[in-house]
């Protein structure tokens, strides 16, 4: 699964098929990701590419075959012990 950026307006894509795309990161889903119905975007990518996105906003991601997958963006607080 790859996150993509609309290179025309430098924002994460909303599925505009006329846009060109740039790979932002790559994630291989694990059994835990699938079982929990979620995946975690590494913090460094979330800060750089997704800081403008509102909590609970829907996002489109694309796999290698350019199939669109819709996800909801949630932020989680990191608890340090």
Question: Residues 20-65: pLDDT tens digits?
Answer: 677 788 888 888 887 887 777 888 888 888 888 877 888 887 777 8
Of the candidates 66, 53, 71, which has an alpha carbon nearest to the alpha carbon of residue 12?
Answer: 53
The answer as to whether 81 is a domain residue is: no
Which residue segment(s) compose the domain that 8 sits in?
A: 2-73
- At residue 14, does pLDDT exceed 50? no
Of the candidates 55, 66, 56, 51, which has an alpha carbon nearest to the alpha carbon of residue 17?
Answer: 66
The answer as to whether 38 is a domain residue is: yes
The answer as to whether 79 is a domain residue is: no
Query: What confidence score (pLDDT) does residue 15 get?
Result: 47
For the segment 64-79, what is each residue's pLDDT rounded down to a tens digit? 788 888 888 777 766 5
Distance CA 15, CA 20 (A): 11
> Structural domain tally of the chain?
1
Mean pLDDT of 1-29: 60
The answer as to whether 78 is a domain residue is: no
Query: What confidence score (pLDDT) does residue 45 get?
Result: 84
Report the Cα–Cα distance between both ends of the chain, in Å, rounded: 31
């Amino acid at each position: 699964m790859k996150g993509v950026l609309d290179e025309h307006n430098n924002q994460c894509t909303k599925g505009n098929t006329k846009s060109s795309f740039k790979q932002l990161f790559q994630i291989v889903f694990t059994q835990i990701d699938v079982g929990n119905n979620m995946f975690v975007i590494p913090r460094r990518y979330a800060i750089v590419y997704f800081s403008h996105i509102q909590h609970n906003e829907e996002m489109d991601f694309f796999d290698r075959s350019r199939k669109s997958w819709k996800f909801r963006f949630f932020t989680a607080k990191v608890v340090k012990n």
